[in-house]
Structure 1
Amino acid sequence: MSAADEGQSIGQLVASATAEMSALVHDEIALAKAELRQDVKRGLLGSGAAIAAGVLLLFSLPVLSFAAAYGIHNLGLGLAWSFLIVGGAYVLLAVALVGWAALKFKKIKKSEGAQKSIASAKESAAVLSKVKPHPRELEDGATERPAVEAVPRSTV
């Protein structure tokens, strides 16, 4: 116990501890929100990669396919085989981009920081709900409730 706490009653100490636990719960909730924002950002990056793969296939496939197929045809291969080779190359490129997007999505599932923070906040809230300051009896038989000081919420 510090020198500043020696002059406080038990009710005041309990009220102070309760206020500090409340601030801790608010901080844990803010941490969980920050971790969820990070997971959403990862999801958006993965979605962007998948959209980029679709746009790439949609706009570049016809033009580049014809150019590449006629280029291969000039090497002496038949026109049908030339188009088949070019089409296969674009399919492989699209599969690679979808695989990269899947890796980004898997990072979201592996992030357990937000779930740990939420569980910790729930545990702290359960402890807070069980702690109640007890009224103390005065000399004249009346009971006095301890004063609870307001603690400013953190802005994390």
Structure 2
Amino acid sequence: MAKFEILSLITSLLAIFVSCLALYRSRKTHSELVEFEKVHVKLSRRQIEEYEAKDAARQKTTLGAKLIDSGGIRLQVSNLGEASAKDIWIRIEDPDSYNPLVSGDYKQKIPYPSLNPGEDFTLTAFIPLSVTQQVYPIALRWLNEDGTQGDFRCTVSR
């Protein structure tokens, strides 16, 4: 073999080596990118689930109740959530306890038609001095904007 042929062979082998090295590195980089894409897809799915959960939560609300004594006792029901509540029902949970709600006012207002976020309504209550009960278990039930039923149990005290 002539010098030219040997030099040509060495150059070809060197080119093959460099090509194999480049192929190895590009495959390694490609597999790392595929792993990053898998992680990105998982993260994107989680974010979508969180957005959907937040959107569903925006269509549900939370109600609260408390007794107010300012020139007369009243039960105040407040919408503490981000959505409207419809067809609100209230009842005293313990049938053996004294019911402070005035029945005429209760029958006139309940079910309360609609309560927007941040709004409240009151029901007249009466607790005679002879009643020593301090705490009243209250159950609230309503319809959320998405049509699901919400409920909340709490105690109010005077």
TM-score normalised by structure 1 residue count? 0.37
Decide which structure has the larger Cα Rg and report it.
Answer: 2
TM-score normalised by structure 2 residue count? 0.37
Richer in strand (by share): 2
Richer in helix (by share): 1
Higher relative contact order (CA 8 A, sep 6+): 1
